[in-house]
Amino acid sequence: MWDIAVIGAGFAGLHVLDQLRRRGFSCHAYETAAGVGGTWYWNRYPGARCDVESLDYSYLHDRELYESWQWSERFAGQPEILRYAEHFADRRGLWPHITFGTTITGGVFEDGGWTLTADTGERVRARFVVTAVGCMSAVHTPAFPGLDSFGGTVLRTSRWPAEPVELAGRRVGVIGTGSSGIQVVPELAKEAGELVVFQRTANFSVPARNRALTQAERDAAVAGYEGKLVAARTTRFGHPVTGTGRAALETDPVERVAELDRAWARGGTHIVATFTDTGRDPAANAVLAEYFRDRVRAVVRDPAVARALVPSGYPIGTKRLCVDDGYYETFNLPHVRLVDLREDPIEEVTAKGVRTARGEHVLDVLVLATGFDAFTGALTRLGLRGRDGRSLEEVWREGPRSYLGLAVAGFPNLFTLTGPGSTMVLSNVLRAIEHHVEWVCELLTLARARGVTEVEALPAAQEEWVARVAELAGRTLYPRTDSYYVGANVEGKARVFAPFAGGLDAYRAICDGVAAEGYRGFRFA
């Protein structure tokens, strides 16, 4: 029996596997993919790029790695981030401790440990299980009638083939205009003979202004390493995001636009932090939203297309802000068409293409950029059953319930890195991962020292946490909008805002307090 089984070998899985091994635990990881990297293994679509800057989207716990790794671009692309994950696995000698091509599909807690079962038929015994399955790894394919009958090629951005896809001159359709769709569309337009973009909800998007990093920038990041460690503990996102410190509604309108112009010219998501009130005050939010809408109108030449691309009906920031490279410009190209599904909905996928209310769009390739069963899907799909035999899927039917996002009452000896109820993608996920790994490793080390063999979140602590997460969400504008944050993209999923919205700094302080009080809210046996 392993001391600990780790599920997943993305950034969280690799780090926790390494830290546990360093602490002398016997442990092993199981991974569906044929390699490490998680998100960055699967999402190989052209244009896939991180929306957090490379110098922040890096492990910090390994100073030497931070100082030696040379990111080439401000926002690294998927191939480079995957190389980084592989480099980390090499450096720490993790490969022999991971079984690839193996998906955990079931687990029961019995005789003081977990018995996991895999799709390969393998059975794994482990005292503890740490899940590192990611926030957005469970692919969600909407039930488009006739999808199986399509005679061309169906590609998913989240499962893009490793080998090059021949698209030159072909008729390509893309369903979905979230971060993935918005990144892939300009790249597909470079090759496709014809490109049809099927949009259900227009998103807010900001230009990345991606570019090569200079050696001076890399050196400055290394020189600022200590500061980054401090920021990981003391900032809302885990890295500094500086705005003007002023409220939009208290700033002169001309000055307001000038500030936003500066942020727009710099590129990236930090623009949403320009003013202090746009995340909570609907009137301030409307000012920011209108600024974005004007940018779309200024680029897109066809007024009807511009109207459809202009986001409306929900506050900016309540769906994840997209970061693009020439997305709106793409719609000025003669071979690119937008289909606004609000006016012209999809009726079915046919053998030849996609039929909307107004007619059939003949395609050779259909790209699905339709997103994920976010936050909970990857966990509920593990088929874990708790103490009373109920599955996580059943227990979470009305929404996820966790303590600190890291443990679930009734599921002893289970820790869920970046689980629902933690800050997840509302913070720099690398910073969240490093915090969770350190915290869980400390707990496990203490448990071992005390001869504890069972650790479980108490129901009362969990209820309190669930209420706190809901209360914090209620103070934001997020719950008003249909998004994956509330599970609205998955038919039949309970509408619950899953992340802890209080910021990583506050979250960490709470976790520190829990640990300082002898892991308050946990039962040790």
Which of 4, 20, 124, 136 binds ligand NA7 (CB under 6 A)? It is 136
The distance of closest approach from Cβ of residue 128 to ligand NA7 in the complex, given in angstroms and rounded to an integer, is 29
Which of 178, 353, 405, 521 binds ligand NA7 (CB under 6 A)? It is 178
Start-to-end CA span in the chain (Å): 19
Neighbours of 51 (CB within 10 A): 18
The distance of closest approach from Cβ of residue 507 to ligand NA7 in the complex, given in angstroms and rounded to an integer, is 19
Contact yes or no for 105/354 (Cβ under 8 A):
no
**Lookup: tokens for 199:** 């949009």
Nearer to ligand NA7, 201 or 210 (CB): 201
Which of 54, 318, 370, 462 binds ligand NA7 (CB under 6 A)? It is 370
**Lookup: tokens for 495:** 């509408």
Contact yes or no for 375/420 (Cβ under 8 A):
yes
Alpha helices for 224-281 (secondary structure H): 225-234, 253-266
Nearer to ligand NA7, 51 or 259 (CB): 51
How far is 490 from 485, CA to CA, in rounded Å? 11
Neighbours of 382 (CB within 10 A): 24
The distance of closest approach from Cβ of residue 192 to ligand NA7 in the complex, given in angstroms and rounded to an integer, is 19
Q: Which residues pair with 153 in a beta bridge?
A: 365
Is there binding between residue 493 and ligand NA7 (CB under 6 A)? no
Which of 89, 175, 263, 514 binds ligand NA7 (CB under 6 A)? It is 175
How far is 249 from 13, CA to CA, in rounded Å? 44
Number of residues that bind ligand NA7 (CB under 6 A): 20
Nearer to ligand NA7, 370 or 462 (CB): 370
Is there binding between residue 399 and ligand NA7 (CB under 6 A)? no
Residues 181-210 that bind ligand NA7 (CB under 6 A): 181, 200-201
The distance of closest approach from Cβ of residue 400 to ligand NA7 in the complex, given in angstroms and rounded to an integer, is 17
Part of the chain binding ligand NA7 (CB under 6 A), chosen from 178-186, 303-311, 359-367, 439-447: 178-186
Is there binding between residue 428 and ligand NA7 (CB under 6 A)? no
The distance of closest approach from Cβ of residue 370 to ligand NA7 in the complex, given in angstroms and rounded to an integer, is 4
Residues 112-131 that bind ligand NA7 (CB under 6 A): none
Helices (H) and strands (E) in the chain, counts: 16, 20
Neighbours of 345 (CB within 10 A): 13
Residue nearest to ligand NA7 (CB): 178
Nearer to ligand NA7, 344 or 438 (CB): 344
Is there binding between residue 177 and ligand NA7 (CB under 6 A)? yes
The distance of closest approach from Cβ of residue 231 to ligand NA7 in the complex, given in angstroms and rounded to an integer, is 21
The distance of closest approach from Cβ of residue 160 to ligand NA7 in the complex, given in angstroms and rounded to an integer, is 11
Nearer to ligand NA7, 176 or 521 (CB): 176
**Lookup: tokens for 5:** 């089984």
Strand order in 353-356's β-sheet?
A: 346-349, 353-356, 359-362
Q: With CA atoms as reference, report the closest residue to 318 among 274, 272, 287, 268.
A: 272
DSSP letter, residue 376? T
Is there binding between residue 484 and ligand NA7 (CB under 6 A)? yes
Contact yes or no for 278/284 (Cβ under 8 A):
yes
Contact yes or no for 103/119 (Cβ under 8 A):
yes
Which of 286, 341, 494, 506 binds ligand NA7 (CB under 6 A)? It is 341
Number of residues written out for the chain: 525
The distance of closest approach from Cβ of residue 335 to ligand NA7 in the complex, given in angstroms and rounded to an integer, is 22
Phi-psi region of 513 (alpha: psi -120 to 50; beta: other; left: phi over 0): alpha
Is there binding between residue 377 and ligand NA7 (CB under 6 A)? no
Nearer to ligand NA7, 330 or 489 (CB): 489
Is there binding between residue 371 and ligand NA7 (CB under 6 A)? yes
Is there binding between residue 142 and ligand NA7 (CB under 6 A)? yes
Contact yes or no for 405/420 (Cβ under 8 A):
yes
- The amino acid at residue 394 is E
How many angstroms separate the Cα of 214 from the Cα of each of 55, 65, 218, 225?
12, 18, 7, 17
Nearer to ligand NA7, 9 or 323 (CB): 323
Q: Which residues bind ligand NA7 (CB under 6 A)?
A: 136, 142, 157, 175-181, 200-201, 320, 341, 369-371, 425, 484, 489
